[in-house]
Chains A and B, each alone.
Chain A
């Protein structure tokens, strides 16, 4: 049986997963070239309103990170009542931008600044009807390789 899934928001990353390789959906200013995520209608550098969609790199390096060891206030957080600590960080996508994301590795001792990271999706919560709500996350490259092997 396949578990139903939906993205936390439309236009954030490519969806459905089977249709195309997973990428974050950003934008690029047609005037000055600034890359933005999430996609922005107006440019915060040159104030142009002329932008195009740009799929961002799915690999980068960990620029910094921290952990979330207490359940965030709800709202706005709508994760499960049973809280599992998670990590967040900024991943540098060379030549594009630094993007903030959840990390799949919750243990700060297993993370290090500069390590290679790869884009993935995580079910950050499950709705009452069993639908998994998916958001983007970055995984240490070694770990994501293992996940692929398990999935295959």
Chain B
């Protein structure tokens, strides 16, 4: 089986762009990725494209060129972009295409997501009575985790502060005003123990990644980034997952993030100790803390010390969310995981500017988690 490598990345800024359709943001991201790869749209043989708000994201070909190639729409909650990347890589690995693209784009209205619970297979009363909020899960999961593993409110604030600080050095990020941990702790509680500045917000943006066969990469670039593994998992019975009216008692069952992470490390032949830089789903500050352990990057409870020591800062031992993560960038669902890949590619190329981590990073890691309990992991290397 041949290997897929990334030869081009493109990112439309994340934020609010009144009057600009998601398809136009997506087309801009694609053009940036094509230019970065040094290829033209007619050379692309197939694509995977994800969006929550755009019913037919494959309509983007009308902005790029009607070349007749297969464009497959994918949607997998907050794991959408990870799924698009995995499928684009798989098309190369299996020999279907030599040159593929993964695209994500979205344009969400302001505020928390509102939806009919029935579309998630959940009864109406759950929404009517005020239980159908993903933010409840994040508040409850970190509250339990803090109780079990000795994580403090100050550590939650440090994570948020770090991500806003990183975003301040990223001209494509949405929230670029640095906030001190004290300022984060002074913001109103939304879902205890999580406060306003500990949550990301739905917003707008797009990203794209061009891939080719490893044995053809020399035609396009001197710095290909290898796709070492992609993995996707859904929730198992007994795991504590978002929007669950109930779940079984008994021995704890691992989250899909743990399952996807283990699978990805095994496929890559790379261990968590080899990871130089990571992008973890930080829907909220608590999620970043939990996901450090769920992705094998530390043990449960070690986060309190690691974060206090600055290990997850850009200059630290394990930089996490160097571009500001979801907290700094917001979350256009379809594009979010491709933004993560964009940042890892810049870091591995050594072209991340003021956000560049020191040394010569070789292995990068990305992770997504979302409703109804889906997780996607990608491991990249030079």
Contact = CB atoms under 8 A, between A and B. Distances in A.
A14 interface: no
A88 B144 contact: no
Interface stretch (A15-23, A69-77, A144-152): A69-77
B189 A100 contact: no
Given A44-B237, A73-B111, A66 B136 contact: yes
Contacts of B124: 9, 76
Interface in B134-169: 136, 139-141, 143-144, 147
B131 A100 contact: yes
Contact of A72 (B112, B140, B143, B147): B112
A22 B145 CA distance: 32
Given A72-B132, A100-B136, 14 more contacts: A8-B125, A9-B125, A45-B248, A64-B141, A66-B136, A68-B191, A76-B132, A77-B127, A77-B128, A94-B249, A102-B130, A102-B131, A108-B189, A135-B125
A63 B245 CA distance: 14
A56 to B, nearest CB: 9
Contacts of A36: 246
B115 interface: yes
A126 interface: no
A100 B130 contact: no
Given A9-B124, A76-B124, A100-B131, A66 B140 contact: yes
Contact of A69 (B144, B147, B191, B246): B191
B245 A73 contact: no
A86 B123 CA distance: 20
A21 B247 CA distance: 24
Nearest to B114: A73
Contact of B249 (A70, A72, A76, A97): A97
Contacts of A64: 140-141, 143-144, 147
Contacts of B127: 75-77
A139 interface: no
Nearest to B144: A64
A98 B246 contact: yes
B116 interface: yes
A141 interface: no
Given A37-B245, A98-B249, A100-B246, A67 B131 contact: no
A124 B127 CA distance: 12
B141 to A, nearest CB: 7
A43 to B, nearest CB: 10
Contacts of B116: 75-76
Nearest to B133: A72
A67 B245 contact: no
Contacts of B194: 66
B354 interface: no
Interface in A84-115: 86-90, 92-102, 108, 113
Contact of A35 (B237, B245, B248): B248
Classify chain B: how many residues form its interface, as a range.
35 or more
A53 B144 CA distance: 31
A68 B111 CA distance: 15
B125 A67 contact: no
A95 B248 CA distance: 9
Contacts of A79: 128-130
Given A44-B237, A73-B114, A100-B246, A67 B129 contact: no
A96 B249 contact: yes
B190 interface: yes
B145 to A, nearest CB: 9
Contacts of A77: 127-130, 132
A142 interface: no
Contact of B114 (A68, A76, A135): A76
A17 B125 CA distance: 19
A55 interface: no
A141 B91 CA distance: 58
Contacts of A67: 139, 189, 191-192
28 contacts: A8-B128, A9-B123, A9-B124, A37-B245, A64-B141, A68-B130, A68-B133, A69-B191, A72-B130, A73-B112, A73-B113, A73-B114, A76-B115, A76-B124, A76-B127, A77-B127, A77-B128, A77-B129, A78-B128, A87-B192, A88-B136, A97-B249, A99-B245, A99-B246, A100-B244, A102-B131, A113-B143, A113-B147
B117 interface: yes
Contacts of B111: 73
Contacts of A78: 128
Contacts of A70: 190
A36 B92 CA distance: 43
A34 interface: yes
